[in-house]
Chain A
Amino acid sequence: MQKEAAIREPLILGHKTYHDVTEDVCRPIEDKAPKMWYILFGIALVIGLYGVGSILYLLGTGIGVWGLNKTIGWAWDITNFVWWVGIGHAGTLISAVLLLFRQKWRMAINRSAEAMTIFAVFMAGTFPLIHMGRLWVGYWVMPIPNQFGSLWVNFNSPLLWDVFAISTYLSVSLVFWYIGLIPDFATIRDRAKKPLAKKMYGILSFGWSGRAKHWNRFELVSLVLAGLATPLVFSVHSIVSFDFATSVIPGWHTTIFPPYFVAGAVFSGFAMVQTLLLIMRKAMGLEAYIHTKHVEYMNIVIMVTGSIVGTAYITELFISWYSGVEYESYAFINRATGPYWWAYWSMMTCNVISPQLMWIRRLRRSLLFTFFISIVVNIGMWFERYVIIVTSIHRDYVPAAWSMHFPSHIDIAVYIGTIGLFFVFFLLFARYFPVLALNEVKTILKGSGQSYKESPDYHKHH
């Protein structure tokens, strides 16, 4: 068992027993859903369906229903894509990287963070699909043998790398998440009384019996997958950033992009985790497992990645001037002072200034403040992508082609719709899946549980 200094804050508050953990996690699944759940689910579903309807209209009519034009070929579509992929970063980072670094506090949050990751990547994946002019031939991006002659994909294209990066990330995340769920599903199965539930959770738990051998394999697979997933955490957003970095457009063509995008992604991912968990711990009575210490840890991650992002912004700004390249310098002057100055300064305020407030201990331990900042950061990160994409191409090389971008209502509907769909998925997850890795949490109960830490024999035993 993990040895932990007594002065460290306990990760599980109160006097929890193993049974309490099981009860706390399983009860919401077994009980009837509260009215609030139905209301939220209803709202999310309506918004999600509106988004689906808008997507169908888009597919039926043409990309012209968006606000794009001859100069600005990507705007909200790819902004949303990168934004969602970024959000989808925290889960794997928490489960894989923190697992490798043996950060036990991840156990309380990794399940929902991973779920969030997967749903976010679903949403992200929607955009590259629907932004295609001809979705019905979109499968041509796969290097599949075909009868079109010797037609093959273009391996030089970052968009193709994207296809591989995103699909790999999604599949590895999905498997990792699912492996973690198996013992917990088995617990629910064992407690389930209704035949349907028993059957369903029985299927989902793959015949888990909790034998030592199973646990041994479970640990091994988790470690292997963590090893696989860790490079993916860095590769996915690096490759997404290549979409821009390998181009010739000033403001896109930047070698700083891969680390800058990864940091930004972790930054926004953690912010989203905060947003979701702060609500969930209250709604589902998980205050004992997800508490100030966890929030504080996450706020520190936000602060560090936020600082990296801020440094990247300023580096970019400096280099644009230092390069002496007409177009490069103008791209940044235009960002800060051009027609989209408000987007740039929203981004700067949200992403550079707000995380710095986390240096103050009182603030980073304030749940209300954290919730507020997590929203701010996600707004900021949306603007970051919008600024990078739109303000770079709306005024690039040839001034006669300069243009402006105005979103159409379909642009907005599709974006809001994906948020709705995301919550549909997340609410279903919260209702039917164990939101806490209960079996994993049990492993730290005695090492980091408050009651154990405070008991007089805590040190004697170890």
Chain B
Amino acid sequence: MEMSKKYWKGIDELKQTPEFIKHKDQEFPNQQSVEDFLADENLAESSTARRDFLKFLGFSVAAATLAACEAPVTKVVPYAVKPENVTPGMPTWYASTYYDGSSYASIMVKTREGRPIFIKGNKDFGFTKGGTNPQIIASVLGLYDSARLTQPLYKGSKTTWGAVDDGIKEALKNAGKVTLLSNTVISPSIKRAIAEMAAQFNGEGESKFEHIQYDAISYAGMREANLLNFGARIIPSYDFSKAKTIVSVGADFLSTWLLPTEFAVQYGATRNPEGEWMSKHFQFESVLSVTGSNADVRSMIKPSEEAAVLAYMIKAVQGKAATGGSWKAAADKAVAALKKSKKSSLVVAGSNHIGVQQLANELNNILGAYGSTIDLSNTIELHQSEDAKALKLAANVAAGKGPDVLIMMGVNPVYSLPNGAAFAKGLKSIKTSVAISSFEDETASNCTYVCPDHHQLENWTDHQAKAGEYAIGQPTIRPLHNTASALESLLVWNGAANRGGQDSAVAYDYIKATFAAMNPTGDFNYLTHNSCTTLPVVPAVLTFTAAAVKDLPKSADTEVVFYQKAAIGNGQFANNPWLQEMPDPVTKVTWDNYITMNPVEMEGKYATTYDQEHGLNLATVTVNGKSVTLPVYPLPGQAPKTIGIALGYGRGANGENIGKAAFQTKEYGGHAQTEDGKLTPIGANVFGMLSTGATLLYSAAAKVTDANGTYPIAATQIHHTVMGRDSIVRETTLSIFKEREKDAYNEAHKLQKLDKHGKHVEAPVSEFDLWAAHPVEKIGHRWGISIDLSSCIGCGSCLIACQSENNVPVVGKDEVRRGREMHWLRIDRYFASDEEAAVGTKADKETFSYDAAEIPALNPSVVHMPLMCHHCNHAPCETVCPVAATTHSNEGLNQMAYNRCIGTRYCANNCPYKVRRFNWFNYPSYKKFTEVNPAQDDLGRMVLNPDVTVRTRGVMEKCSLCVQRIQATKLVAKKEARVIADGEFATACSDACPTNAIVVGDWNDLKSMIREKSEGVRAYQALEEVGVKPNVWYQVKVRNEDNSLLDHIQVAEQAHH
């Protein structure tokens, strides 16, 4: 942009006349100064008559009154001095690392004017390769949670860090026994600090100090099994990207098991049917999980059958005779595939039972997976829970025999231990109990001292999630409150450092020193730029040794599985309204946990359908003498004679202040309260039902009895099948896809028309047009989206990213129940029915029954279909708006002018995809949403993206294709005087997708990925025959399965045309 031209105000300036120079600095020439004016002697002579005076008085009163009616003054604080690297309006990105005790990922944090507002996966650095999950993306909201502790507490009242430190140091000095109970520590610096602490206490061969790692969700079974089989208590790295056959026995590795941020990315890479090969995925499980919903072959088993399935496969793979159960057919298919792929196979088991994990190890060993898909050297350092030790400590504390000082860091044992209540009682008898926690939660509220940790985004941290990678988390904002890094607290109590206050460099210096010791040649600045660096991995020399498998789980008539939901996980984010309102990827239920049961088993006993007014029946589940009453949810694919209940609910059962959104709200706003005046938690806590063997076990024998009453359920989807409609979801098998032409599995929709001779001929939909065509091709940009149904796993990351990017309001359970969630992007989940050969393909057109098609199959195949505004080129919403509030941009976007919208909702009615969302209430201020919508909270509001308007009531909104990002991308390119490169523009959803299922770009860029995708053989447009000409393409779902019925139909279909 050339700016060298000079402009003159007038000819005087050009010629620089003396007159001009004289008045140059005066804005108003010939201005009379106030002094001159007041000095005018005639002024004193003027008189104000009574009438004039009254007129002035009247005017002044009226003016003052009017002025008082003005809107309240809102203050804007400008930068007096512009901070370095901060330009208002321009985001600053920081590479950082996320770790919360269970999820781990390398991330990028977007900050605006110093506020972190968005998190995405780091695709350039770190072994997670851009993988994230909903919790990681939503964690930015946690920073602004107004329930976070703002300063340390002593016996429940606020105190200073000085007092806390003195008290704890004193207690430590006098203590006979000190125990540090923490979640898995993967920070080399914290480990070093703990080691220093231990060395100080255990100086002379004493064992005064003990460090126990304990996670709510334990993987101790894996570590113990590996100890037995390999002699090391490790968890190896798994590489799903190399696995041609994946067999998962109860492991939800795409969403909640072990390291889903890495596994989802790897798995996604193997799900490309156009690639050299496509993995074949077998899943044996009880509760239909996200992973199970993506499986090529899924078999329903009871949790007690996991060992039998693995044992059967061990024998069958070796060609030995074996007997199998109801799952035999699937197991045989798996065995055949495993035999073929041999060492390119991967078997994972989700159980925390040592024996089951041993069997999985054995099978992997037979297949030769070690050294191929499993890497024993680059071990996973997450999930180090030592169940036996932790349970022993818990028992001791409960019995009043706890240590003198108990420091709890990043754990919430009162909530998550099976004997949490007893533990809480015992905790009070401990002399000094310390909780390093951000909230006064179940555990912290029972502790002597509560030392609030920084939020991750305020903190310097370091991580070694895998042996071969050192990663760093850097602060992206100055600490909001008077909190302190956990690392600093440990160092201070150990006498190794002094408090550094809010701008403390203690942790920073210590981490720098740790890094220098670990990586002497490493550059710390370079590390903070990338957020991570590789470390040399010593090749492990571990060989498999068979060990006796003991105490395999016993079967029971009805077995319960305690599982984690994608959004809520182990419950630590129960106060995050984005996550509470995220529909479960499989059930689509929000804000609750429930008992999952196969609808076939529920028939005649419990309601199998539900809607706004009709809730689900309640039932009581009794496990080990403990009972819980929850609604029974009809989940197809749930193994018969099993039920599932999600962990992570029922937080804050005693009304602990863990955040507004963690509690139930009433229909007209405000928190619901129990009879004794406490806040009502959401769902029920079932951690208390876990069995404790050698490890914590997540399945048990259960008894289900009917309870009276029904319970309203808030689901975003109440119809579960696609009703045999073939232009919404398209699915085929890998063999058809490889062997047949496009016609077989992705036939373009054709309509009849008359040709020149008056004869009926078939022509593609694109030839029919009611309107004069919008110019599309080769004119400027034309933004489009391609969504690959084969690689979409339905994890929900895109949905949360969209909510975060676009200030999508949270509306609470009551509104979701009424069908009014505001998500701009939804993920439709379809179950196949018995009437369909696959989702969207009628098994037999002649006998097809709509009634039967409404009922999902016993163990249905599942398709996840992300759906947002299709930005139709012939948008039906645009023509019907009476005030032209929604119009088409010349870049192909369907735009909403919120200011112009009068809210007739005609556009939403006329949208074939039903993606428009109406502001039924004033979400940013109406009392009903105070507890749930972050925009109503002074602190929560900080998370709002300043580039996106917060919508008022009565207007329509919908996906904008992240138009603010398009504009930003265009600006950058324009300043650099170049065209936008392909891949430069990404929407929030495409940024968040761990499997790269969502591709966005400029369709008019002929070499772009989106253009290529849109022209591929798998590309189709949903509801193409409606003729709305969307800018969204889907890629046909290809399942690597044997589905002879589908094959037969598609071959016949092709022959027909």
Contact = CB atoms under 8 A, between A and B. Distances in A.
Contacts of A133: 901-905, 918-919, 953-956
Interface stretch (B374-382, B908-916, B983-991): B908-916
A169 to B, nearest CB: 18
B1028 A248 contact: yes
B512 interface: no
Interface in B764-794: none
A62 B906 contact: no
A160 B918 contact: no
Contacts of B1023: 397-398
B906 A399 contact: no
Contacts of B883: 140-141, 151, 153-154
B469 interface: no
Interface string B954-970: 11100000000000000
B722 interface: yes
A159 B906 contact: yes
A445 to B, nearest CB: 50
A334 B854 CA distance: 12
Nearest to A247: B910
B820 A249 contact: no
Contacts of B851: 337
A404 interface: yes
B1026 interface: yes
Contacts of A330: 723, 850
B725 A157 contact: no
A433 B291 CA distance: 74
A403 interface: yes
Interface string A120-149: 000000001001111001101100000000
A26 interface: no
B954 A134 contact: yes
A69 B921 CA distance: 12
B728 interface: yes
Contacts of B910: 247-249
A62 to B, nearest CB: 4
A326 interface: yes
B882 to A, nearest CB: 4
B717 A400 contact: yes
A151 to B, nearest CB: 7
B914 A138 contact: no
B51 to A, nearest CB: 37
A199 to B, nearest CB: 39
A296 interface: no
B725 A134 contact: no
Interface stretch (B562-570, B674-682, B873-881): B873-881
User: Which of B611, B718, B879, B882: most chain A CB closer than 10 A?
Assistant: B882
Interface string A155-194: 0111110010000000000000000000000000000000
A247 B818 contact: no
Contacts of A153: 882-884
Given A62-B920, A406-B613, A159 B904 contact: yes
Nearest to B588: A400
Contacts of A156: 879-880
A69 B725 contact: no
Contact of A157 (B826, B906, B921): B906
Contacts of A158: 880
B920 A393 contact: no
A76 to B, nearest CB: 13
Interface string B904-939: 111011101110111111100010000000000000
Contacts of B722: 399-400
Main secondary structure of the interface of A (DSSP, over half): loop
Given A69-B818, A403-B718, A159 B909 contact: no
The range of chain B's interface size is: 35 or more
Contacts of A403: 611-612, 718, 819
A390 to B, nearest CB: 11
Interface residues of A, number: 54
Interface in B833-892: 850-851, 865, 867, 876, 879-884
B584 to A, nearest CB: 14
B719 interface: yes
B829 interface: yes
Nearest to A324: B752
A108 to B, nearest CB: 40
Contacts of A395: 719
Nearest to B909: A73
Nearest to B915: A401
A400 B912 contact: no
Contacts of A14: none
B285 interface: no
Contacts of B922: 62
A197 interface: no
B828 interface: yes
Interface string A269-284: 0000000000000000
Contacts of B850: 330, 333-334, 337
Interface in B339-364: none
B721 interface: yes
Nearest to A404: B611
Contact of A404 (B612, B717, B865, B881): B612
Contacts of A247: 876, 880, 909-910
A34 interface: no
A455 interface: no
Contacts of B820: 64, 69-70
Contacts of B920: 62-64, 68
Contacts of B1005: none
B900 interface: yes
A251 to B, nearest CB: 11
Given A62-B954, A134-B903, A140-B883, A400 B909 contact: no
A4 B922 CA distance: 66
A88 interface: no
Contacts of A71: 819, 914
B908 A70 contact: yes
A326 B880 contact: no
B912 A63 contact: no
A154 B867 contact: no
B728 to A, nearest CB: 6
Contacts of A396: 912, 914
B815 interface: yes
B370 interface: no
A38 interface: no
A399 B917 contact: no
A298 B906 CA distance: 36
Interface string B585-618: 0000000000000000000000000011100000
A206 interface: no
User: Which of B721, B815, B881, B954: most chain A CB closer than 10 A?
Assistant: B954
A402 B905 contact: no
Contact of A63 (B611, B721, B954): B954
Nearest to A389: B909
Given A141-B882, A153-B883, A134 B830 contact: no
B821 interface: yes
Contacts of B723: 330, 399
A74 interface: yes
B714 to A, nearest CB: 12
A70 B914 contact: yes
Nearest to B851: A337
A132 B819 contact: no
Contacts of A398: 728, 828, 867, 912-914, 1022-1023
9 contacts: A62-B919, A63-B918, A159-B880, A243-B906, A247-B876, A249-B909, A396-B914, A399-B723, A404-B611
Interface of B: 611-613, 717-719, 721-723, 725, 728, 815, 818-821, 826, 828-830, 850-851, 865, 867, 876, 879-884, 900-906, 908-910, 912-914, 916-922, 926, 953-956, 1022-1023, 1026, 1028
Which 10 pairs from chain A and chain B are nearest by CB? A133-B903, A133-B954, A64-B920, A69-B819, A400-B828, A73-B905, A401-B914, A134-B954, A402-B719, A154-B884
